[in-house]
Structure 1
Amino acid sequence: MSSDSLFSNLTTKPKMIIFDLDCTLWPFDCDYYLGHRFRRNGSTVVDSNNDVVEVCADSESILQSIKRENGVLLACASRTPTPEIARQLVQLRGWHLLFDFMEIYPSSKVKHFNALSKKTGVHFNEMIFFDDLDWNIQDAKQLGLHAHHVRNGITNGLVRRALEEYQKWRTNQS
């Protein structure tokens, strides 16, 4: 499935889609790179050993597709213990131009979600959230977010299924 078809034939869309970073959009925890410096090398990001800092295969196209979708805000929420590394990687990848909001600091996801809701006026039940950690998914669901566990990095298929489930869920709430 291509990222261009993520929203096709959907009549109900979330007002905000939120992604965790570590092991969701990229396949590592930021603290793995503690002590490294990063730079762009052409279209890639490399660490101080000149090793490419990979992201999950569909991440870039998913973020771009969501950013193009009218009426859907894009955010990240990361409780990484190394927020400076996460912010630098987001910036070097150019994702800071895609994210409407970024909550990157060690805290609870509940604090991140509350901050996003306060800044945007978007209610929890109008948000979809993706994360690799089950306890973050449970925290999100307790607040009323439509949350999805990411097992091996984000994929177009997972996002599409989440959007379809969200549409059914919202339709049943009406």
Structure 2
Amino acid sequence: MGDEKVKNEAMEIMGLFQVLPRLIVFDLDYTIWPFYCECRSKREMPSLYPHARGILYALKDKGVDVAVASRSPTADIANTYLDKLGIKSMFVAKEIFSSWTHKTDHFQRINQRTGVPYNAMLFFDDEDRNIETVSKMGVTSILVRNGVNLAALREGLSKFSQNLAKIDRNKQKWLKFSQKPGSSERDKE
């Protein structure tokens, strides 16, 4: 499937959802591209997973910001590859550094840089431990098995919508509770 066809299909998928994430964050290794960049040379020409470029273009056209969170110890190679692939400028934040925190540091920096709250983010990664840790921060997180693709995008947007609906229901419950007589200090006076 060509980039343009993937882009069009991704646009259709996004059109199914009333609210999109404000920021979608991608891991690099085995999420955007099918290799570990620390096992490669800057001289090589990298490749993306088949749907990655079309999805990135669709997100850009829809006005959804994208970022990178990668625990790669070779940020120089990763940045070179993003440049060679012509997608480096698409990302509003690139947090590429080695870490033992399973990406919590990456997301804290992304949050500080963009101002986007964690619950307005969607994250794609190929490692369970990163998904679990980042989910605890309030980020909707999707595990990918064979790189980011249209099915993962659909799953991510669907889960994001479900999480948003849960947040809204909880806000409504809280508002009802806080409006009951005796539920605030003022009512007790």
Return the TM-score normalized by structure 2.
Answer: 0.80
**1:73 aligned residue (53, 65, 68):** 65
In 2: Cα distance, 1:37 partner to 1:173 partner: 44
Give a deviation string over 1:58-103, Cα, whole Å, max 9, x none: 0100111111112x21101111011111010001111112111111
How far, CA to CA, are the matches of 2:107 and 2:42 in structure 1? Answer: 30
Structure 2 counterpart of 1:159:
153
CA contact (8 A) 1:6 1:65 kept: no
Distance 2:95 2:13 in 1: 24
Is structure 2 residue 34 aligned with structure 1 residue 27?
yes
- Find out whether 1:120 has 2:114 as its counterpart: yes
The 2-side partners of 1:37 and 1:14 are apart by 33
CA distance in 1, matches of 2:106, 2:94: 9
How many residues are matched?
159
Check whether the contact 2:46–2:85 (CA below 8 A) recurs between aligned residues.
no
- The answer to whether the aligner puts 1:144 opposite 2:128 as a matched pair is no
Residue segments in structure 2 that go unaligned for 5+ positions in a row: 1-5, 169-189
- Measured against aligned partners, the alpha-carbon deviations of 1:88-138 in whole angstroms (never above 9, x if no partner) come to 000111111211111111123111100011111111111110000111111
- In structure 2, what residue type is equivalent to 1:172? K
Moved over 2 A (4+): none
Aligned partner letter, 1:77:
A
Determine which structure has more spread, i.e. the larger CA radius of gyration: 2
The structure whose RCO (Cα within 8 Å, separation 6+) is larger is: 1
Structure with the higher fraction of residues in helix conformation: 2
Distance in 2 between the 1:156 and 1:92 partners?
23
Identity %: 31
Please, what TM-score do these two structures have when normalized by structure 1?
0.86
Which residue is 2:173 aligned to? Answer: none
Instruction: Give the structure 1 partner of residue 19 of structure 2.
Output: 12
What is the CA-CA distance between 1:54 and the residue it aligns to? 2.3
Kept after mapping to 2: 8 A contact 1:78/1:105: yes
Give the RMSD, CA atoms, in angstroms. Answer: 1.3
